[in-house]
Structures are given as C-alpha cells and as structure tokens.
Structure 1
Amino acid sequence: MAIPNYQNIMLPLLKYAVDGREHSMREAIGALADQFNLSEDERKELLPSGQQPLFDNRVGWARTYLKKAGLLAAPKRGYFEITEQGINVTRQPLREIDVRFLNQFPDFINFKSSKKPDDNVITEFDEISEKTPQESIELGYQKIRQELEIDLINRVKNISPEFFERLVIDLLIKMGYGGSRRDAGKAIGKSGDGGIDGIIKEDKLGLDVVYIQAKRWNTNVIGRPEIQKFVGALYGQRAKKGVFITTSSFSQEAKNYLSDIDIKVVLIDGQELAQLMIDNNVGISTVSIYEIKNIDSDYFIDS
C-alpha cells in the first residue's frame, strides 16, 4: 500500500501507546510500518533531501501534533507515552484523528494561536495537507531548484564558447580539480589534439590528470561517434580518465558504449552541469537561507 500521510498515522500511533508504557520512536516506527503493511522499498523511501526516511518523518510529525494536543507526552529523548487525555480519546469510536479533530483541545489551540496572524494560511494548509511541514518545505525547495536548473542551462547555452570555457574552469576548480586557477586556465582549451579540449590536474599535486572535452550545443544530442572520437584521442595519449561535458544530452548508444571500454569516461549533460553549478555555487547567488531547528534535549539534562 502507499505510505500513509501523517494525519492517518495519528490514531494508530495513539492506540499503539494505549498500554501506558514508554515506547521508543524506533520501535513504534517498525510496529506501524508492519501495521500498514509497508514494503521494504516504502520503508526506505526518503524525503526529497535524502536525509531521512519518509515514513519515519511522518510518524515523527504525528507524534509532535499529538503531543501538542496533550494526548502524548515525552518522558525522555526519543520516547513517548500516552496521557490520561490520550487514553480517553482512544475510548471513543473514532475512524481517524486529524488536525481538525485536535482543534478541540486547549493545548493544541494554544499551539496554533502562538503563530503570527500572518500564519493563518499555514494553519489552514496544515488542516488539509497530506504532507508534513518538512515535506512541504523540501518539495518546495526541489521545485525552486528544478526551475533554477532549467533557467541556468538555458543561459549557459547562449554564452560564447570562450565564456563556456571559463565556466568549465571555474566549475572544475570549485570541485577540487585543476590545482590553481592559473594552472587550470593553461590546461583547458590548449590541447588541440583531435577530440580533446584540455587537460587538467585531478588533484592539487598533479598526481594524475583528466582529459576534457566540452561541447556548448543548443539542441544536438551527443551520439556514439563523438564519444568514440574522444575515447580514441584518450587511447592516443595513453590516458586513463576523461570527462565529456555538454550543454546538450547524450544518446543511449553513447552511454552504452562506455560500458565496453577500459578507460574511465564520465559524461556530464546539460542537466547535470546545471546541478553541479548549483551545488558548487558557480553562476548563481543565494537569495534566502532557512534553517530548520529542533530542541537540543541534551542541553536540558540537569546534571
């Protein structure tokens, strides 16, 4: 079955704690995953950021909302237990618990009213959304990033070949290649050896080198012949490593060809180029920074 949203998890989580014992979040997540018959892939599915399993995050937010309503308590870090008020709720013939249901509890109303007046839209969103607040933030971030990738590669496709050469240098240096910028500037674009645009140090000491091919194309798909030409040039130099960078894309035949050769060649298409530029802050600037914070439970341990 599909991974349940955090509101659908609230009632099963509350009933799980009805025995009155302290329960760890880890054991609760496992028990609820079994109850919802989640597959291994569903249990391992991650948030867009890749930093936490999606189901774990939703169980965490279900617990948070139940705590805000006074139905669960947190006796110590990573554990929870049901309250008397929570036990009374489980005695009702309920089919589900959602944010609207929690609005009857004063503690939850106080939690919501602690938000600024301008946050009414957020409150209404909480009541109808199937996603946790953290999921909504991460999905919003991913959408902004995807739009930035599209805008970025369109801009790169329209710069001059000389500017593209400098962009490649800046990116490789930010990624830790090329030694100094002066060394990289000398290497890229100076080879002139059929199929090779430049040679750059793999590390700052120059213990190994990487051969570069860069194609600033608007629409052309890079096919197998272009990759074969590059690989042939690498063999001619007795090179072991190469990187082919393009603003376009690579055909499946071109990708398949590389699995049959000994030389290590990395293909970077327009989409990945844009992603690398964003990750390494090349050609972009930061507009806003948002920090997601949590209580440091260790700080409040009275020794």
Structure 2
Amino acid sequence: MELPKYHETFIPILEILNTVESLKSRELASRVRDLYYSDLPQELLNQKTSSGANVLLDRILWGKSYLKMAKFVSYPKRGEVQITEKGKQILNKGQLPLHKLQNDQDFINHRKSVKSDKENEIDLDTVNVENASPQDLIDSGFSSIETEVKTELLEKLKDIDPYYFEKVILILLKKMGYGDFIETSKSGDGGIDGIINEDKLGLEKIYTQAKRYNENKVREKDIRNFIGAMSGDTSKGVFITTSTFDNFAVKKAKEAHHSIILIDGAKLVDLMLQYNVGVQVKTVYEVKEIDSDFFEGE
C-alpha cells in the first residue's frame, strides 16, 4: 500500500465539495483523508515531509490547487474552497486523469499567465520522473511551487482595492532600491498614480501608472494618456498592470519620446517574489555535498 499521488485526489476532493456549499482548505483535506484513505497503515498516514508537514494532507492540498488552476473549484472567500459548475460536470464523468487536467485550456491559460517566456520554453512541470536526475526533480518541484505562489499572488492583486494596488506598486519599487515615493491624490491626478525618486536624493523622478485589470488588456489609448499626463520635470514612466498589453500599447510605448517601461502581470509577480513583497519564506531546504577539502589531509 502507498499514499495516493496528488492527482489521484482530484475526484475525492470534488466529491466532498459537491456535498457542501464550501469548506476551509484544511477541513477539506481532513475530510478527504478520513473518508477515502483512513484504511491506510498508520505509519503512512503519519508520514511527514522534510519540513514537518503531513505528506497526505499536503498532497490533497496540492490536488486542490491544481483543480483551482483549471477552474474545477474556486475560492469564494479567503481560505475557503467551492466546487464550480465545471467541477460538477467533470465529477459526473467520474474521472479526471492528470493529463486531461494539464491539457485543459483554463489550466494552460492560468499557468501561462504567470510564467515568463523562458519558463514556458523549458517547462519543468513535464519532467520525466524515470529519466530525471535528483537535481531535475528538485528544479521541477521548485518550479511547481513557485508557479502556484505566483498564480495565487496574481489573483490576490486582481481582487484587492485599486487604490491599495497602486500602493503595492510603490512599495515594490521602493524595495527595488528607488527612493521615496509620493502617492498622488485620487481625484484629478491626470493618470499618474505615484511619483518615485530614481535616486535617494530625488534628483530624478519617475511617474507610475497602475492598472488592476482582470481580463482587459491595456490599450494604446491608456499609454497615450499616461504620456500626456507626465509633466515637463520627467521623461521616465513605469506602467504596471495585472493583465497584459496589446500590441498597439507596446508599439506606442516603444515609439514614445519618453522612456516608458511596461510591466505585465507575469513580470509583476516575478518582481514581487524576487523582492519579497506580499510573500514570505515558508521553508528553507539545505542540499549538502561532500567537502573534498576536509579529506585532503587523510
């Protein structure tokens, strides 16, 4: 006997959620364990990861996360999980193999929205376990965890108050090493959300515009208005969005006499992870190797 793989918990998770309006994530994991896997040996049920987490509960929670990426479940409010109509439809079919979820268009779009071009070219999620080296497996696992964090982070950004989103952007730029920032007034700001100092003394200023969009792309008109709102004391601007820029917006920014940097949702969450804004370190793993110098004197 062995513990179920995370993708083998898909249907049990959906079956539990189909009986309730919503559940807290931890309660969901406990119910799935108790109803479907309680007959496993106690030593398996008590098995821990190297960081001390229960292996089975951790796998169930990962199963929930993957179901969320493909929109088979949703998070109606903080910490809670709910089955969607799409989830009910797949539950009626009685099976959801991993390859079907990975080929689901919602899942593909979700993963692409937070992955850089380089990550999309080398997709570590598809690593062949049988032929992979231990380092490949570590990289693959790390990639999956990071993508999940980026996904949730981007969703948080899309849900928060638009004014607070503007403040998050200014906090990020401050963490990146820029000087003090000034939030503009929320009325009549002419499309400028904040002003940051490029240097600590404030000799050079950069204007910022933050658009918290869900699906809508930033258009050429938005870039044109941003450029028009920039006063004569600066020629530099940063336009940030939780979505993407259409081709005309990108073209307008490139052709502008001003220096306009565009940051889309994928790049934004990359920077937030890099500078620890809105995230925290959960676990630190140490990978050790032989110290050859130690044995030089033998």
- TM-score, with structure 2 as normaliser: 0.53
- Structure 1 segments of 4+ aligned residues over 4 angstroms from their partners: none
| Aligned residue pair count | 173
**Match among 235, 249, 253 for residue 258 of structure 1:** 253
**Match among 279, 287, 296 for residue 292 of structure 1:** 287
| Alpha-carbon displacement from aligned partner over 1:90-145 (angstroms, at most 9, x marks no partner) | xxxxxxxxxxxxxxxxxxxxxxxxxxxxxxxxxxxxx9621111111111111111
Is 1:270 the counterpart of 2:269? The answer is: no
Is 1:164 the counterpart of 2:160? The answer is: no
Is 1:217 the counterpart of 2:218? The answer is: no
Larger Rg: 1
Shift of residue 158, structure 1, vs aligned partner? 0.9
**Structure 1 residues 299 and 188, CA, compared in 2 at 3 Å: closer, same or farther?**
farther
Tell me which residue corresponds to 1:135: 136
Identity %: 42
Shift of residue 302, structure 1, vs aligned partner? 2.9
| Alpha-carbon displacement from aligned partner over 1:244-285 (angstroms, at most 9, x marks no partner) | 011121112211222223321111111211111111111112
Is 1:188 the counterpart of 2:198? The answer is: no
Q: Distance in 1 between matches of 2:290 and 2:263?
A: 41
CA contact (8 A) 2:184 2:193 kept: yes
Q: Distance in 2 between matches of 1:190 and 1:172?
A: 19
Counting only pairs closer than 5 Å after superposition, residues 28-47 of structure 1 correspond to structure 2 as none
Tell me which residue corresponds to 1:205: 201
**Structure 1 residues 251 and 208, CA, compared in 2 at 3 Å: closer, same or farther?**
same
- SS class of match (2:144): helix
Is 1:144 the counterpart of 2:145? The answer is: yes
- SS class of match (1:249): coil
**Structure 1 residues 298 and 154, CA, compared in 2 at 3 Å: closer, same or farther?**
same
Q: Distance in 2 between matches of 1:217 and 1:274?
A: 14
| Alpha-carbon displacement from aligned partner over 1:15-37 (angstroms, at most 9, x marks no partner) | xxxxxxxxxxxxxxxxxxxxxxx
CA contact (8 A) 2:170 2:196 kept: no
CA contact (8 A) 2:179 2:198 kept: yes
Shift of residue 172, structure 1, vs aligned partner? 1.4
Give the residue type in structure 2 aligned to 1:219: E
Is 1:243 the counterpart of 2:238? The answer is: yes
Output the aligned Cα RMSD.
Answer: 2.6
Structure 2 gaps of 5+ residues are 1-115, 123-127
Tell me which residue corresponds to 1:14: none
CA contact (8 A) 2:179 2:201 kept: no
Give the residue type in structure 2 aligned to 1:154: E
